[in-house]
Amino acid sequence: MPDYNWPDAEHRTLIGKRISRVDSPVKVSGRAKYSYDYHGTGMLFGKVLRSPYAKARIVSIDTTAAEKMPGVRAVQVIQKPGTTVQWAGDEVVAVAAVDEPTAEDAVRAIKVKYQPLSYLVSDAEPPAGAGEGGGPLAEDDIYDALSNQVPDNQLIDTLEKQGVSFKVDEDFLKELKGYQVPDPVVQAIKSAPYREAKGAARSSYQKATAITLGNADQAFANAEVVSEGLYGAPVIAHCCLEAHGSVAEWPDANHLLVHISTQNVSGIADQMAEPLTVPATNIRVRQDHVGGGFGSKFAADRWDIATARLSRKAGKPVRIMLERDAELEVAGARPSAYARVKLAAKKDGTLTGWQSQSWGTGGPGGGGMPPIPYVFAIPNQKKEHTAVRNNIGPARAWRAPNHPQAAVITMGALDDLAAKLNMDPLELLRENLDLVVKDRQSTYREELGIASELMGWKEKWRPRAQNVSDNIARGLGVSVHTWGGRGHASNCDLTIHPDGSVDIKIGTQDLGTGTRTTILIVAAESLGLPLEAISLYIGDTLYPPSGGSGGSTTPGGVSSSTRRAAVDAREAVFAIAAPALMARPEELECANGTIRVKSDPGRSLTWKQACAKIGAVPITKRGHNDSVAANNHPDLTNSGVGGVGMADVEVDLETGVVKVKKMVAVQDCGLIVDLKLAESSCYGAMAMGISYALFEEKVFDQLTGRMLNPNMQFYRLAGLNDIPELVVHMMTGKGYDERGVIGLGEPPVISPGAAIANAVANAIGVRVPFLPLTPDRVLTALGQKAGA
Amino acid sequence: MSDDQEKNSSTTSSGVSRREFLKIGGITVAVPLVAGPRVVEAAGAPVKVYGPGKVPIELAVNGKKQALQLEPRVTLLDALRDSLDITGAKRVCDRGECGACTVLMDHKAVYACSILAIDARGKDIVTVESLMQGDALHPIQQAFVDNDASQCGFCTPGFVVATKAFLDKYPNPHAEDIRRGLSGNLCRCGTYHGIQQVVAQMSRKGA
């Protein structure tokens, strides 16, 4: 049996080194082609008419004038009269025309009559008692729960308690399986009791979770200290710079070619097949580069289906890429989460009890409770979560779904407790590390020490509001986080040609996370070749399927499938080369572009010489990684990482403006494939963290039901001017490397928000409850402190 | 273009503010058109009016003259991308907020989404594609590679062009100059740390 295991440290020549991103040159020179850049021959430009109402019944649609306009080639009604739109910006009609201005004119010429309905766009705290006795779940509720990443156990629990209001048929279950819904959830839906939905309109509030662990009441009765607070994070957007969308073209009546901006190349065809009534095998999906996804680009969206339909009607390629306002309104939202938290503890800071009433929205589907208390399994807990179902548009997975919110709530509460105890919060975290999952305790201890050194915590930290001069308050904050990992299902074909050239085909995508670089490093390391010697082809359904890039599962998935393919191909070359080297295949190794005898490296063939013996037919080996770790022998990935984030901030007490002065990230992710790119992930995540901590929020107008800031002026992202000194330390070496490859997309983005919020509290001496920490909120908190 | 429309480190990194754009858009035209515009009286002065149909527009892009037929409302960015298939400059915000469409116009960094193609006639337009020197990356592009200053890469062409324009004007910037001078471009992946390193490295070299 070939040895697939990762080479140990002394045998690694590429893995773990600092290697430049292989697709940087095409990106910096503007040659990288994104789906948005694809221009098919005779391509038409599509535009979408969107609902101006947050909730309305479509009464009538008149497209006559648009269809008669010169240059208009196809019109496609997306939602028919009689349908109820559930959010402003919802798609109603799409048109395709010879150029963009004409398409815009055509959209304006369409007449739609709406009957506006009452709506809710607020996610303010639900009234007391709201949402008791949740009714049975409709199909939409289940779709919403799944797209909102409601944790599996919460959804299963709700299904068992509340049942479903529709007959679950095999088609529905099959569809869910197609979306890779975990089996236990599918089973729970299948076996959920049928209950008739009550006639009344369903409540905007749904009691989503009520969990009691241990004896919380007693813990609070016996507590030496109780700390209370309010914490939360709003709905934010993904704001991928490349908008969602696609170009569709039909080479013939039964075959569709889609150039789509996606995190899920191999998963798109199956989603388009049914609505378009074309076999999935007749749908080819292509994408070279994607301009950001962050969790929002797994689906063939409604507008992508409309694009394909317009193209079929018009007989020409059609492009619809969302306008920026639509991108911010409908193409991605991170659910909000807010909580009133009470903590019980001993005087030494030992946590003994947690109580929380939380709420939040993920749009029409409500959403689930974030994993609170986060990281620390406090022994006695009582927690309730109310999901707010409203009309702000659907939620999508946002980098580390639910975790940044959980960190803001939990780490904020721990920080407030530390302040009440007059303790350094870093000490409070250390004191409670035995509440952390056992395998991570020493990791966190080590990481907290390193982070503290890098931040200069000991020298800089002061109790709250004691570092003020000239109206500038300075403070430090800390947060810890965790994430899973493993590897998604992945297949990789590696071919060695008789001329020595090597190619790899794998139906994955590179979101800017370094997937191409990861694959090439693993293959080159395994074959003893330089990266440049290998041609890599990704982003096409013609290549072996590989999972969608979510949950930090791509590095594990593609590195495993690539490693297996490369090792198998290498073994095949060894078998062919062995006679010429008068050795047995197992005595051979490849290094530095040669194949040689391990015990006698002088006996060698160049790679080319060895491959020349392959014969006429190239060697192709398929490497596979199974998403179930136990099915991989050996499993080359792992799950479960810990990380620490720290922030040093300045707050202007007169203006309320928060400036981050320094951030530190310390992170483990098992065996690091490329140290340079791993560090980049952390640098980037800190910048993104500063952005959502200080600026980002989807603001809704209660009077019109519309998003007020669907542009990049008022939906502000952090810019270069907001980025302070950033320090990254990756955990490597013994205790980390041997764990195998673990993805890094999610973890480092989790702590920054909480760390910055805690640093602001440390600086100004009062908690600003909700992100983003805008000047008005800082001043309000300061005002309340002064008035108290 | 007047001096106050220049890329200015103390205001914004783009060449043309939205207000300036509105002022110049379709009102003042320096070069006569092949197809004569109508002349109307507006605010007591004669104003040339083009369109609404397509009019001939000649652009000089990366040293090459390009004859196009475009409606006057088409932006320089859309002309580059959709008519000339020059796609390095990206369309992101489409209203002068993010810098992903940054190109050089007469050596100044401008937001191509906020300039009408018709107003770019007679100007020297340079896009990211022409910065390479043969097969070799421009030193600034190489510094982006070396410092891993791109992730998804969608903001990168704009940043590369903005960085070039900035360093052309301020070869030895202070840290504060860098923060201000490049704050007209936005990145979602958060590659700012790498970009700071790029500028620091290039200014040490005296690019």
Would you say residue A143 lies in a domain? Answer: no
| Range scoring the smallest mean pLDDT among A171-175, A456-460, B190-194 | A171-175
Residue B38, Cβ density class (10 Å: 0-12 exposed, 13-18 middle, ≥19 buried):
exposed
Domain identity same for A491 and A625: yes
Give the span between the Cα atoms of A152 and A175, in whole angstroms. 17
Tally the domains of chain A. Answer: 3
Are A537 and A656 within one domain?
no
- Each residue of B11-50: pLDDT tens digit? 333 344 444 444 444 444 444 444 568 888 888 888 888 8
Say if A462 falls within a structural domain. yes
Query: Contact A31/B129, CB-based, under 8 Å?
Result: yes
Q: Classify residue A388: in a domain, yes or no.
A: no
Contact A684 B98 (CB under 8 A): no
User: How far, in Å, CA of B184 to CA of A717, rounded?
Assistant: 11
Residues A115, A251 within the same domain:
yes
pLDDT band at A134 (very low <50, low <70, confident <90, very high): low
Q: CA-to-CA distance for A669 and A736, rounded, in angstroms?
A: 7
Band of pLDDT at residue A182, cut at 50, 70 and 90: confident
For the cut 80, the answer to whether the pLDDT of residue A335 exceeds it is: yes
Specify burial of residue A422 (Cβ count, 10 A radius: 0-12, 13-18, 19+): exposed
Shared domain for A661 and A564, answered yes or no, is no
Identify whether residues A55 and A106 lie together within a single domain.
Answer: yes
pLDDT of residue B7: 38
Cβ pairs bridging A and B (under 8 Å): 183
- Is residue A127 very low, low, confident or very high in pLDDT (cuts 50, 70, 90)? confident
Quick one: A645 and A765 in the same domain? yes
| Residue A202: pLDDT band with limits 50, 70, 90 | low
Interchain proximity A719–B100, CB inside 8 Å: no
Is residue A561 located within the same domain as residue A593?
yes
B158 touches chain A (CB under 8 A): no
Q: Which residue's entry shows tokens 């910055």?
A: A756
Domain of A546 in residue numbering reads as 487-631
Contact B91 A712 (CB under 8 A): no
| Count of residues making up chain A | 788
- Percent of chain A's residues with pLDDT above 70: 98
Kindly report the nearest CA distance between residue A292 and chain B, in angstroms.
6
Structural domain contains residue A334:
no
CB atoms within 10 A of CB A190: 14
For the residues A574-596, what does the mean pLDDT come to?
Answer: 97
**What global pTM score does this model have?**
0.92
For residues A651 and A759, membership in a common domain is answered with yes
Q: Among A481, A407, A424, A425, which residue's Cα sits nearest to residue A771? A: A407
In contact, A482 and A375? CB cutoff 8 Å: yes
A28 contacts B141 by C-beta, under 8 angstroms: yes
Average pLDDT over residues A716-730: 97
**Which CATH number does the domain housing residue A80 bear?**
3.90.1170.50
What is d(CA B27, CA B20) in angstroms, rounded to the nearest whole number? 11
Whether the CB of B164 is below 8 Å from some CB of chain A: the reply is no
Interchain contact, A27 vs B78, CB within 8 Å: no
Last residue of a domain, one of A281, A300, A321: A321
A683 and B195: CB-CB below 8 Å? no
Nearest to A644 by CA among A622, A660, A668: A668
Section A283-308 average pLDDT: 97
Say whether both A669 and A586 belong to one domain.
Answer: no
How far off is chain A from B83, nearest CA to CA, in Å? 10
CB contact under 8 A, B194 and A291: no
Percent of chain A with pLDDT over 90: 88
Are B187 and A242 in contact by the 8 Å Cβ rule? The answer is no
Q: Which of A439, A400, A432, A401 is nearest to A414 (CA)?
A: A432
pLDDT value of residue B51: 81
Q: Is A394 a domain residue? A: no
CA distance B182 to B13: 6
Is residue B79 helix, strand or coil?
helix
- A226 neighbors A342 (Cβ within 8 angstroms): yes
A357-366, A680-689, B31-40: least confident range: B31-40
User: What is the pLDDT averaged over residues A458-477?
Assistant: 98
Does residue A210 sit within a domain? no
Q: What is the mean pLDDT of residues A63-67?
A: 98
Shared domain check, A492 and A596: yes
- Beta bridge partners of residue A337, listed in sequence order: A233
**Is residue A380 a part of any domain in this protein?**
no
Predicted confidence band at A526 (pLDDT cuts at 50, 70, 90)? very high
Closest approach of chain A CAs to the CA of B44, in angstroms? 31
**Strand spans (E) along chain B:** 38-42, 45-49, 55-61, 64-70, 102-105, 108-111, 124-126
Residue that terminates a domain, selected from A300, A321, A342 = A321
Provide mean pLDDT across the span A765-774: 98
**Are B129 and A100 in contact (CB < 8 Å)?**
no
Residue from A19, A21, A24, A28 whose CB has the most chain B CBs within 10 Å, to mutate: A28
Q: Which residues of B touch A241 (CB under 8 A)?
A: 90, 92, 98, 100, 152, 154-155, 186-188
pLDDT at residue A621, rounded to an integer: 98
Q: Other C-beta atoms within 10 Å of A717: how many?
A: 22
In angstroms, the CA A48 to CA A472 distance is 49
Q: Is the pLDDT assigned to residue A92 strictly greater than 50?
A: yes
CB contact under 8 A, B156 and A27: yes
Average pLDDT, chain A: 95
Answer whether A29 sits within 8 Å of B178, measured CB to CB.
no
The answer as to whether A580 is a domain residue is yes
B126 at A interface, C-beta within 8 A: no
In Å, how far is A673's CA from the nearest CA of chain B?
15
Mutate to test the interface with B, among A31, A238, A240, A241 (most CBs of B within 10 A): A241
Q: Which of A273, A294, A321 is the last residue of a domain?
A: A321
Contacts 24+ apart (CB under 8 A), B78-81: B78/A100, B78/B117, B79/B117, B79/B120, B80/B112, B80/B125, B80/B127, B81/A37
**pLDDT of the residue at B36:** 67
Residues 6 or more apart whose CB falls under 8 angstroms from that of B77 comprise B89, B91, B94, B101, B111, B112, B113, B115
The alpha carbon dihedral of A105, A107, A111, A116 has a sign of: negative
B145 contacts chain A (CB < 8 A): yes
The alpha-carbon gap from A238 to the nearest alpha carbon of chain B, in Å, equals 9
CATH of the domain at A494: 3.30.365.10
A438 and A515 assigned to the same domain: no
Q: Which domains does chain B have, with CATH numbers?
A: 3-128 (3.10.20.30), 139-205 (1.10.150.120)
Write down the pLDDT at residue A440: 95
Residues of chain B with pLDDT under 50: 1-34, 207
Q: Secondary structure of A25-76 in the HEC alphabet?
A: HHHHCCCCCEHHHCCCCCCEEEEEEECCCCCEEEEEEECHHHHHCCCEEEEE
CB proximity B22 to A under 8 Å: no
Is residue A457 located within the same domain as residue A500? no
For chain B, how many helices (H) and strands (E)?
6, 7
**CA neighbor of A479 nearest in space, from A234, A746, A752, A693:** A752
The closest CB to that of A720, out of B142, B144, B183, belongs to: B183
- What are φ and ψ of residue B17, in 5° steps? -75, 165
